Structure 1
């Protein structure tokens, strides 16, 4: 079994991360996407997790389809949407194989791009291009190599688990390892890209990199997230992708 088929379920069971309420970050992100698109429309979110962003997008008038590998994610998303008086369509499956329908005006993928190797990324980007409606835009969050290389070795200890950041320099991959008390550790491993690296993936996918939005930076020692930093300090960036 690929690590992604168990990691997120175990992470949620350990931390409850997908049960968290909507954060102002989700609200601001949905507002930014809506403003950039100029209007609400049909929106597909890949790896929707607990549905926080999907619900915020629905609140702004988007017709949202939320796709996630975990069956429980759909339940969490629908519950959160109902709490806020909106409807989100949910799909369960692997977005490397499942067809979510469409076309969609907007496709979003936050926190998770980089599973597998470069060929897997090209394959997924090609699928996203086919899912986009004419004039559509995709927003894909990408981990930066410099952040993860600079923070490798950080360890957070809690009552129930230890979490450690790592970086595979040869493979250019971030490593996020949880070691629960009295259980085997489990690790998320995502390929990191600079904008220049990402551009090398795009030929033949049907997409082009239109803009780069620097993400924030998490200071693990202080436990503080800085939402606005320069690209050279950012832990991620959002790749704004349009049909080539």
Structure 2
């Protein structure tokens, strides 16, 4: 079984991240996407988790489809949407094989791009291009290699688990390892890209990189997350992709 088929369920069991309420971050991100698009429309979120962003987008008038691999994610998404008086369509499955329909005005993929090898990223990006409307825009959060190389070895300890950052220099992958107390550790591996790397990856996919939005940065020593950081210090960037 591929690590992604168990990692997110185990992470949620430890941290409750997929069963959390909407955070102001989700509300602000949905507002930024809506302002950038200039209107609400049909929106597909890949790797939607517990539906926090999906619900925030629905509250702004988008017709949202939330797709996630994790069993039970759709249930919490529907609960969250009902709690806020909106409707979100949920799909459970692997977005490398499942077809969510479309075309969609907007496609979002936060915190998860980079599973597998470059060919698998190209396959997914080509599928995204096929799901987008002619004037659609996709927003894909991409992990940067410089942040993860710099902070490899950082360890966070809690009562229930230890979390460690790592970096595979040869494969240019971030490693996020959880070691629950008394259990075997489990790890997330995500391929990291610079904007220049991503432009090469996009060749032949039907998408082009229109803009780069630097993300935030977590300062491990201080234990503080800065929501905005220069690109050269950021953990991630949002790639704004349009049909080529």
TM-score over 0.5 for the pair: yes
The 3-state SS of whatever aligns with 1:71 is coil
Partner of 1:40: 40
Q: Distance in 2 between matches of 1:100 and 1:186?
A: 29
- Count the aligned residue pairs: 244
TM-score if structure 2 supplies the norm length?
0.99
Partner of 1:109: 109
Partner of 1:160: 160
Cα shift readout 1:82-131 (whole Å, capped 9, x = no counterpart): 11110000000000000000110000000000000000000000000000
Deviation at 1:71, TM superposition (A): 2.1
Q: Distance in 1 between matches of 2:45 and 2:61?
A: 15
Q: Distance in 2 between matches of 1:119 and 1:221?
A: 36
Partner of 2:123: 123
Q: Which moved more, 1:231-240 or 1:216-225?
A: 216-225
The 3-state SS of whatever aligns with 1:33 is helix
Structure 2 matches for 1:57-76, cutoff 5 A?
57-76=57-76
Cα shift readout 1:23-55 (whole Å, capped 9, x = no counterpart): 111001000000000000000000000100000
Q: Distance in 2 between matches of 1:120 and 1:173?
A: 14
Partner of 1:99: 99
Partner of 1:3: 3
Partner of 2:233: 233
- Extract unaligned runs of 5+ from structure 1: none
Q: Distance in 2 between matches of 1:8 and 1:128?
A: 22
Deviation at 1:220, TM superposition (A): 2.2
Q: Distance in 1 between matches of 2:59 and 2:78?
A: 13
Partner of 1:85: 85
The 3-state SS of whatever aligns with 2:72 is helix
Q: Distance in 2 between matches of 1:110 and 1:220?
A: 21
Partner of 1:186: 186
- Extract unaligned runs of 5+ from structure 2: none
Partner of 1:205: 205
Q: Distance in 1 between matches of 2:115 and 2:108?
A: 16
Deviation at 1:19, TM superposition (A): 1.2
TM-score if structure 1 supplies the norm length?
0.99
